[in-house]
Chain A
């Protein structure tokens, strides 16, 4: 693993590309700290993906299939015929540059091929050569070039330096979405067995065990039980959840990342506590060990793989006979649920239109997909005064909120989390407007880039976000970065440690649970992290 340069070194970024040497004449150089390791053969085999073998991106020989050029050509053509987005986005970019300085990877790295327009041009140039007359005749003068192994490597390197965050698409006058081109480009790389280990392994795990981390059912139960013990220590109440229970009204699905590692675990405890609180009010909910993953690394692989993994949600809902599905806090999970799930695997006629059993609110905006976001669910509870909250328990926190890319630009869930946060804590500060809501900056580790070996890339990609956090930290003393995404919770601790070490990371439901007042609980002295509550610093730990 490469050493990551120190922040003041790393932030010396030059955004001026070379003057005379054009990008087509600049061959790719695959740098440690930036790239992710290559996929392992066993993971590709498990899901029947082509060309499983050991390979490394820094090797000269990528052990491509004999006829790889033909495979790419056919794959390209086939996708042009299946996706209007791809075809259109190949043709209509005017290179106005509006998207160029909008990408966090360009801002943090200065690598000109990380400008969204150029990331797309890497592929477009080959498109022109293969599929347009002008490109065939005029070659480079028409911005066209042949696909060879070096170009393929360049594709790969930059396709796996895009987090599919869609910030570029917001600013493009024609809505050209470079994320869409990345998704398409990654599909092509997957035809040749060129996935990364950090994506392929979770995909294989998820296929087999139901979740990215490969947690088997008994272990999954163990882990939640451990949380239940912790909660009992803090509240004096035992909050055992149900698993795989047939006939429950609601199925709850959340990313496995929150079951696995801090600080996501505290959010997971938050869910457990909320559900327990609502039990006496009529909530009838179950967790599943089979559909134990909300996220979908298949989406970072191909549409088909996304569909294969996503299928478990509806399948499990049908098997258990629930009425509707509640989904936890996650970013890309919600992009898939919102924009793909019903189309992939619907219609889920065996489910009913979601209705909150506590407030009676119909979630009309989920009446086809039949899946509601927990932040909507909780916002509705608070709005209807169903939760007894003591926000002062979060008074040690000065909170800012990071809009995750997918809920922001692939859904538009902006107000609900803010509403919930403002009801469960007293100190909330926004980051500058050009870095939040629909203009939000990526955490730097989405779309399967949250590995360890590409730490430098992550620190660079996360620079704009971290910089905005730093701003509110310095201005208002913000010490907590809240988010509604499990990948954020996995990525931000490293990023904050690197750029703004004074700031910690939390899910919104962790703060909800801290503020939630239960009947019959013992006097709480600590929050879910075991830290003393404000005013309890002197209390002895009981």
Chain B
């Protein structure tokens, strides 16, 4: 398996994901199937899948408390400790997790190896590298905002926070006081950011030799899928307009569990809907579960308090040890000879034997 095969395989899979609803709706008019059944199945898979997976992780205990400490521990009052990167209790852990989950703290540490062995001899540097962190942050946050913006389709009346988000997000179009808009019509900045970030994350895999080497089809597939999702969304919003009222009717119907499929929604919508359905159905079985996993990671979500708060291993079992008695039995004579204290003196018979030997 090399990167060409990986990319072809995942690319092909995503093309299929696009073609299936296209053919299905356009040629066979399977609107109810793609508009109702598939989304329901996907949502069920998503929720049940995640719950099952998380419970499965949770079933395995955490036998040892093994945080990765990234700063000074708590010791003396006169030594400045790092309460976040080396937390001493739950408060610190919560802050650490917030930094990790919302701001990708660990990724922010990233450096890039610069290894040169030229005329001046060997030079090894660990250089500033925040692009991965930035792209990841932009990607995840844009995704979240776009997701929240979609609530305008599911909820009637549209909640205030959605409108607010839309306004902020659309500042390129309308401007946010005191700035004037750029006059670009009708563009959400998160749409652009998401597509840019996904593209960067893909190119990075392709361009950096080490990334190319470690990437699996399972890495390209979700990227392509999200790219396709974004592109179909952008197409629908900016180019091939669909009947928003009809879409909203369908969406609200789905959420109220009284699904109806109104006439007149373009194929592009069904493609978009199918892609998101595949994405969420794929979610629980894939690396995308990192979103839930990060909360459970024992190197991050535990305090470094082992020496003052005992951690119990639920499956701790007794083990065979070499006891002091066994040790002394083997070395007693030598110990006595050099004046090391012993528990038992040498037995008279043993002494007699000893004497005989001599």
Contact = CB atoms under 8 A, between A and B. Distances in A.
Contacts of A208: 322, 327, 330
8 contacts: A20-B4, A22-B213, A171-B106, A218-B337, A243-B340, A315-B324, A371-B307, A412-B304
The 8 tightest CB contacts between A and B, nearest first, are A412-B73, A92-B293, A175-B299, A412-B69, A101-B113, A17-B213, A175-B300, A434-B126
B65 A344 contact: no
Interface string B51-87: 0010011111111111011111111101111100110
Interface residues of A, number: 123
Interface in A195-241: 207-210, 216-218, 221-222
Contacts of B296: 84, 88
Given A84-B296, A88-B296, A166-B68, A342 B307 contact: yes
Given A20-B4, A91-B289, A15 B115 contact: yes
Chain A contact residues: helix, strand, loop or mixed: helix
B320 A308 contact: yes
Given A97-B211, A415-B72, A83 B297 contact: no
B316 interface: yes
Contacts, number: 322
Contacts of A81: 59-60
Contacts of B126: 432, 434-435
B117 A12 contact: yes
B258 interface: no
Interface stretch (B35-43, B169-177, B216-224): B216-224
Nearest to A367: B308
Contacts of B63: 82-83, 303, 343
Contacts of A216: 331, 334
Interface of B: 1-4, 9, 53, 56-66, 68-76, 78-82, 85-86, 100, 104, 106-107, 109-113, 115, 117, 122, 124, 126, 132, 136, 208-219, 285-287, 289-290, 293-294, 296-300, 304, 306-313, 315-316, 319-324, 327-328, 330-331, 334-335, 337-341
A13 B115 contact: yes
B218 A170 contact: no
A210 B335 CA distance: 14
A415 B315 contact: no
Given A95-B216, A222-B338, A338-B306, A379 B76 contact: yes
A42 interface: no
B306 to A, nearest CB: 5
Interface stretch (A136-144, A485-493, A507-515): A136-144
B264 to A, nearest CB: 38
Nearest to B328: A290
Contacts of B68: 166, 169-170, 175, 177, 409-410
Nearest to B322: A207
A365 B307 contact: yes
Given A16-B209, A85-B66, A175-B100, 6 more contacts: A15-B210, A23-B213, A175-B68, A175-B300, A315-B321, A338-B306
Contacts of B69: 408-412, 438
A542 interface: no
A84 B299 CA distance: 11
Contacts of A25: 1-2
B201 to A, nearest CB: 9
B287 A93 contact: yes
Contact of A244 (B58, B85, B334, B340): B340
A383 B341 contact: no
Given A80-B60, A338-B306, A343-B311, A174 B214 contact: no
Interface in A398-436: 408-416, 419, 432, 434-435
Nearest to B78: A383
Contacts of A85: 62, 66, 298-299
